Every structure is written in C-alpha cells, then in structure tokens.
Amino acid sequence: DHFTDATNKKISPRRMLDREFVNRFLAFFALGWEAYQELDSFLDEALKCIAKKTQAERDEIRDVFYDSLDAIRAQFKRYAFCKLDAYPKAKPINRVLFEVLTVSVARLSAERRERFKNNVNAFDSYRELFGANRPLTELVSTSTADKNRIRQRYEILERYLNEMTEG
C-alpha cells in the first residue's frame, strides 16, 4: 500500500516494474551509489547482500522504505517521483528520480524524515531543483548510468534535504 499510494498506482505489477523500482531502492540503499558499476550486476549484488541480513534487519529496511515513501507522498502528493516543470500536469513516474529520492530520504534519521514531511517549503524548494539552469532534470533523464551523474544527483538531493531538515 505504501508503494502504490506513493506512486499513485502508476507502476503496474503486471510486468514486475514495481519490483524493479524496489530493487533499485534496495541496491542504492544497501550498497551506496559509490559501489555502482553496472546496473544488472549491482542489483544482483544488492539482493545477495539483503539475503545475508537477519529478518530484523530486513524488517528495519522495509520500515524505513515505507516511512520514506509516506514522507515523500505527504510532501509531493501526485507529483512524487515526477520531473517538474512549469506545467501543472503530473508527469509519468521517473524510475531514476524514484531511486535517488527514496534512498536520500531513507538515509535521513527518523526525526529528520519527520521534519522533511512537515516542512511547508519543501515542495516549492524541490520544484526549484528542476528550474532553469538546474541540472536535476537532465541528471534523471539522460546518461543516467554514468557514475559521475549518479554522484551529482545524490549530492543535489542531499543538499536539498539538508536544507529542508535543518534545525
């Protein structure tokens, strides 16, 4: 329910696309973007890593994932995981944006996730990341497997979340 609510039921389980989204989260959350080399082997390595964890550790990852999805949904509503521009219509879910946003929010402490969730300026500040002369749109759209571009998008989201959760 957390996943389907956060993605506005736009990700169909019929072709197992929902599992790909969750696997991307698990890989980047468990291994970190620094370990990334190539997506398929990275996802495989992450699943092996997760399989070695205790049930309590897997439950904790699940709970942090759910909490992150809920915070993102509360903050961005139907625009969660969509590239934003000047047009008010919600765009399709972007899998790279889903990955970097969920992982970045999940890495916050529970207290900071709550601050993010309740920050009245978070959506407007997030929208600015996609404005003119801002690279986030490009970083989640083209050459998304380039390690330097992966690093850049994580750094952008980390700075954004630090600003939204200070205090």
Would you state the pLDDT for residue 56? 98
Token pair listed for 47: 């699943």
Token pair listed for 155: 């750094």
Would you state the pLDDT for residue 5? 92
Q: Which residues of the chain fall short of a pLDDT of 70?
A: 86-88, 90, 167
Q: Tokens 């959760």 sit at which residue?
A: 165
Rounded-to-integer distance, Cα 67 and Cα 161, Å: 15
Would you state the pLDDT for residue 87? 61
Would you state the pLDDT for residue 14? 81
Would you state the pLDDT for residue 1? 87
